[in-house]
Structure 1
Amino acid sequence: MSQSAVNQSGQTQEQTPTLRAKLRKSERSYKFKSLLLIAPLFLFVLVCFAFPIGTLLSRSVDNPDVNTALPATVEALALWKGKSLPNEHTFEALVIDLANAKENGQIGALAKRLSYEIPAYRTLISKTLRNLPASDVASKRDALIAIDSSWGELNYWKALKQASAPLTPYFLLAALDHRIDSATGNIVKADPNQSIYVDIFARTFAIGAVVTLLCLVLGFPVAYWLATLPEGKSNLLMICVLLPFWTSLIVRTAAWVVLLQSDGLINRSLMFLGLIDAPVQLVFNRTGVIIAMTHVLLPFMILPLYSVMKNIPGNYVRAAISLGAHPFVAFWRVYVPQTFAGLAAGALLTFILAIGYYVTPALVGGAADQMVSYFVAFYTNKTVNWGMASALGSLLLIATLLLYGVYGKLTHPNQSRS
């Protein structure tokens, strides 16, 4: 018997490594199959989300125009200290680079980029190209200064060197109404006639906050009503909440233009009821933008609130009332705190969508009601200023991430402390 037990023990010890190997092989196979299942989703997120955002962030600091058009000049300016005019070799390199840039069709991008530093640079480049010194001219420096005295000013050369850096904070600073002074190298406020973006961001956040607040005021009672109804009626009414998603955003916005215009249904109804004597301006202004955006974004507030309220037991409020609490006090101090997760999620989702809206303010609002997204589209489609469009988009993305971070700390305070 003892010999048989020893043999069984030996066989068990021999089988144990084999079983472990098979288990590890099975786990590796399971992980590999799991990775294969999520690979399409990962590639989709990488190609359609991560890559565009990375490109957006890079274009906001990318600065290739001057380096591409004036390579020899940029190389010559690398060792220039900026205390006096560059040497003759730098002027010669500039003449050669300008001639080559004209042949290669790079003058437009070059003049455009340099005009961001000094607006008169565009005229200076055009004037210089029309009178470009010949190759046999003894002093290119004297010839360029004779064409325009600006080539004899340090500010223009400092601006040229500043614009030649491969990466630049120019667009991000411009999006915050600041710039780098080419004479001193310090960050200063932009000129008053160019300082518009801080006001645009303030307008965007203000409209987003008002729309979010209105969606909360209107959406909370609707979500509470849906959560307390029987399931059959609740599902039927939920279709009405989801109905706007079945209609194009442009169609809904155009419908509000028709409703809000001077002879539209709303003004006619108000005049019929005797509430107003003359039509009220409700379209192509801030009021129309807020009304239309609130209607479009209201479901994004109702749905998170409803999903949370549906899981809140009604016994808590009834217990508080049975213990002597006023119904409103019981509702406010017992029920409402349990909805904070849905309230925060709905408010965050609504606000993030609101600050990125483009179509509705563009169609319903006036010139003073356009938001950041309008100017992103303007710089992308009309002026083809990818740097400025990317900078505005990047700042909007940063604001969104900060909001999400605040939301994470508010909803998970214990995790942040640990």
Structure 2
Amino acid sequence: MERADRRRELVGWLLVAPSLLFMAFFFAVPIGAFLLRSVDNTDLVGAMPRTMAEIGGWNGQDLPDESLFMALGEDFTALPDITAAASLGRRLNHNLTGYRSLVMRTFTGLRRHEGPLGREALIAIDKRWSDPAHWRVIQQERSWLTPLYLLASLDLERGPEGIRTIPPERRLFVDLLVRTAWISIAVTLLCLVLGFPLAYVMASSGPRLSSWMLVLVLLPFWTSLLVRTTAWIVLLQRNGLVNQVLERLGLIDAPLTLIYNRLGVYIAMTHVLLPFLVLPLYSVMKGVGGDLTRAAAGLGAPPSTVFRRVYLPQVMPGIIAGCSLVFVLALGYYITPALVGGPRDQMIAHFIAYFTSTSVNWGMAASLAGILLLMVVVLYAALARLVGLDRLKAR
């Protein structure tokens, strides 16, 4: 029997091995490699090997000695082309604004320079090399790993005295993270308020009516997310159907602003994510028998007590599963806020897309994605502690 059990277990692992390998190579490894970009500094260190080796002994206050200037000149001269110089300048510009122009000007100046590559030559090309602040940037980034992007994602930076908060006019990402979490929480609560009665009616109805209601809940999955979001633009615009109906009913005198603001984001995201709460909640409610509720009512408990003390604990796993699913999906939403929201309603996914495709700052994109992943992990850990890991896995 033991050999048979081991054989069955081996067969089971062999059956799932292709899926596990596929998930590892095409899901886990790419995500891990992308998240590594949030602390990776190999491009900068590899582009300036001589300077990075010399600058470790500099005191960080006085002007560097001649050997360090020579090392910097040799590194710039060794750059293969202007594209590599532009990439280096763009990377250093994340630390200190204006560094890209400094690198480009130095690179082109050294190409025309004849003679020793020392202090006088570099300062003659650009006087900013006489400022120790520009050298401190290189000294801070001499390691293969950098905290630059992670600090920037939390509105922090490294200064001469250590890590500090960036000036208020440059702060962005902490408010962005709070905004993303708040919108996700609000949408989750709206889905719960609307989805709980719907799931209860579906679970309490007869087979025929329940089947039709289930089809209506599944119907949005058969329509593109982009189409559903665009439909809300048509409905909620100033001359849209919603405003026209309200005006004809005499409820409003002028069209309401229902789109390109936070309200439009709430409406559209709630509509899109509502089935993700209804379906797991309906599956749990369908398996809850009525014996306990009838027994509680027969013993004299009022309806509110029956619901709170008997029925709600039985459907709580479905509530937790549905709310966690909606919240996690809402955290990474991009298309809906981008189409129906205003500039102050964009979520963290919008900036991840911006840093990936527009500014080509993969470090910031990976850092923001890592923070988003951390929020999901924290949520899962909290749920595991609240309802138990075994029950969470079962759901």
TM over 0.5: yes
TM-score range, shorter chain: over 0.9
Q: SS at 1:262's partner residue? A: coil
Deviation at 1:343, TM superposition (A): 0.8
One-letter amino acid of the counterpart of residue 284, structure 1:
Y
Does residue 299 of the first structure (1) align with residue 275 of the second (2)? yes
Q: Kindly indicate whether the alpha-carbon contact (under 8 Å) linking 1:352 and 1:400 is maintained by their aligned counterparts in 2.
A: yes
**How do 1:204-283 residues align onto structure 2 when only pairs under 5 Å count?**
204-283=180-259
Kindly provide the CA deviation profile for residues 330-357 of structure 1, in whole angstroms up to 9, marking residues without a partner as x. Answer: 2222211221111111111111111110
Q: 2:380 aligns with which of 404, 407, 413?
A: 404
Contact 1:133 1:140 in 2 (8 A): no
Match of 1:381 among 357, 362, 385: 357
Aligned to 1:137: 115
Q: Which has the larger radius of gyration?
A: 1
> Residue 187 of structure 1 aligns to a residue in which SS?
strand
Q: Kindly, what percent of the aligned residue pairs are identical?
A: 46
CA change 1:139–1:179 in 2 (3 A) is: same
CA distance in 1, matches of 2:335, 2:391: 39
The one-character-per-residue Cα deviations of 1:243-274 (angstroms, maximum 9, x if unpaired) are 11111111111111111111111111111111
Q: Secondary structure at the match of 1:132?
A: helix
Spell out the pairing of 1:129-168 with structure 2 (5 A cutoff): 129-132=107-110, 137-138=115-116, 140-168=118-146
Aligned mate of 2:324, from 335, 343, 348: 348
2:117 aligned with 1:125: no
Aligned-residue offset at 1:287: 0.6
Superposed, 1:62-141 pairs within 5 Å as 62-101=40-79, 103=81, 105-132=83-110, 137-138=115-116, 140-141=118-119
Could you tell me which runs of 5 or more consecutive residues in structure 2 were left unpaired when the two chains were aligned: none
Q: Do 2:73 and 2:117's aligned partners in 1 also have CA atoms closer than 8 Å?
A: no
Q: CA deviation at 1:92?
A: 1.2
* TM-score (norm: length of structure 1): 0.89
> Residue 180 of structure 1: SS of its match in structure 2?
strand
CA contact (8 A) 2:74 2:117 kept: no
Cα offset, 1:89, TM superposition: 1.8
Aligned pair 1:61/2:39, yes or no? yes
Counterpart residue identity of residue 142, structure 1? E
Q: How many residues of Structure 1 are paired with residues of Structure 2 in the alignment? A: 392
User: Quick check: 117-126 or 275-284, which moved more?
Assistant: 117-126
CA deviation after TM superposition for structure 1 residue 135, in Å = 6.6
Partner of 1:287: 263
Pick which of 344-353 and 32-41 moved more.
Answer: 32-41
**Structure 2 residue aligned with 1:325:** 301
Q: Matches of 1:35 and 1:323 in 2, distance apart?
A: 51
Cα drift, residue 79 of structure 1: 3.1
List gaps (5 residues or longer) in structure 1: 1-19
CA gap of 1:282–1:191, structure 2 versus 1, over 3 A, is same
3-state SS of the aligned residue for 1:106? Answer: helix
On the 8 A contact 1:210/1:290 being kept in 2, the answer is yes
1:36 is matched with 14
Rounded to whole Å, the distance in 2 between the matches of 1:247 and 1:47 is 31
Quick one: distance in 1 between partners of 2:230 and 2:98?
43
How far is the alpha carbon of 1:108 from its aligned partner?
Answer: 1.1
2:176 corresponds to which residue?
A: 200
Superposition CA RMSD, Å: 2.1
- TM-score, normalising length from structure 2? 0.94
The range that moved more, 103-112 or 130-139, is 130-139
2:108 & 2:16 partners in 1: Cα distance? 60
Distance 2:275 2:358 in 1: 33
In structure 1, distance between residues paired with 2:190 and 2:267: 9
Tell me by how many angstroms 1:109 deviates.
1.2
Aligned to 1:13: none
Quickly say closer, same or farther: Cα 1:413–1:110, change in 2 above 3 A.
Answer: closer
In 2, Cα distance between the equivalents of 1:370 and 1:256?
17
